[in-house]
A = this chain, B = another copy of it.
Amino acid sequence: MKIVISGLGIIGGSYAKAIKKYTEHTVIGINRSKEPIELALECGAIDREGTAEDLRDADMLILGTYPKAAVEFIEKNGEYINKDCIVTDTCGIKSEICGNMVNLSDKFGFTFVGTHPMAGKEVNGFSASDADLFQGASCIIVPCKAKRKSVEAVTNFVTSIGFTQTPVVTPKVHDRMIAFTSQLPHALACAYVLSPVCRNHKGFSAGSYRDVSRVAKINAELWTELFLENKAPLLSELDTLIDNLSRIRNSIANEDGQSLYRQLKAGRTVKEELNE
């Protein structure tokens, strides 16, 4: 395949590296700034730099940018995309982008299959990309209006570069799950490290501090966009968490050991039943 990747940050860059490492496909890179292109050429992550003209005979276009930039790229360059090309994004929230992309695919004639690679790091940019970032990870597939054949093609493609789970869901289900599994921990990590005690934690902390605070090293611009695009599901999860924390808080305030024990035990039971 001839694969065009727009946006060579950590995710787009890792796609490029993984494709070159694990497949025979040709990779063409497009990026607003020049440095990632130069780095990608240097290490062989892309075969060459491309332009919108490359979309005329590309088999796949991977959008590695933020949601809004992904939509803008298609609005601007949709006319170059051939009708057999599969366009996929890598965005963390699906309802909004899928709505936009389905409209754009109707307008320009390409096929859109949303994907969300469940992998990342607390660092960003091409220099953080890694050919093995996706090994063993889940890639959530959001077909929207795509035909089964295109969904299979995307599933086979992501499996070929290391993903081992490929659940297929609607945008709505995706966004509800991600509000809990990914967005809430990021909001939480930021809220947590804003305690005035945090700055003095060294010598008094171990694994539980490290794990909760890790993702506070957040890309604030990206996550502000993602949080606002997933308002309703994320608010629902935040409210549930604040409720659960308040219930634990009140048990402690009332020195109600039985109620506190029941809540902690309920948490343990969930983890046990999930075999984690």
Contacts and interface: CB of A to CB of B under 8 A. Distances in A.
Interface of A: 118-120, 137-138, 140, 165, 167, 174, 176-182, 184-209, 211-218, 220-221, 223-225, 227-228, 231, 234-235, 237-242, 244-249, 252-253, 255, 257, 260-261, 263-268, 270-274, 276
A244 B194 contact: yes
Nearest to A221: B261
B212 A185 contact: yes
A268 B220 contact: yes
30 contacts: A118-B204, A118-B205, A119-B206, A138-B205, A138-B206, A165-B203, A177-B197, A180-B198, A181-B205, A181-B208, A181-B209, A182-B209, A184-B195, A188-B212, A189-B267, A190-B267, A191-B245, A192-B244, A192-B267, A193-B271, A194-B266, A199-B274, A211-B214, A212-B212, A216-B267, A217-B276, A224-B260, A225-B257, A227-B260, A235-B249
B270 A198 contact: yes
B140 A187 contact: no
Given A195-B180, A211-B212, A204 B167 contact: yes
A8 to B, nearest CB: 21
B263 A190 contact: yes
A220 B270 contact: no
Given A181-B209, A198-B270, A241-B195, A234 B252 contact: yes
Given A177-B201, A181-B209, 12 more contacts: A120-B207, A137-B206, A138-B204, A177-B197, A177-B200, A178-B204, A186-B264, A187-B245, A195-B244, A213-B271, A224-B257, A238-B249
A153 to B, nearest CB: 20
Contacts of A212: 184-185, 188-189, 211-212
A72 B165 CA distance: 52
Contacts of A266: 190, 194
A100 to B, nearest CB: 18
A255 B231 contact: yes
A270 B199 contact: yes
A174 to B, nearest CB: 8
Contact of A191 (B205, B224, B253, B267): B267
A214 to B, nearest CB: 6
Contacts of A174: 204
A178 to B, nearest CB: 7
Contact of A241 (B191, B204, B231, B273): B191
A11 to B, nearest CB: 13
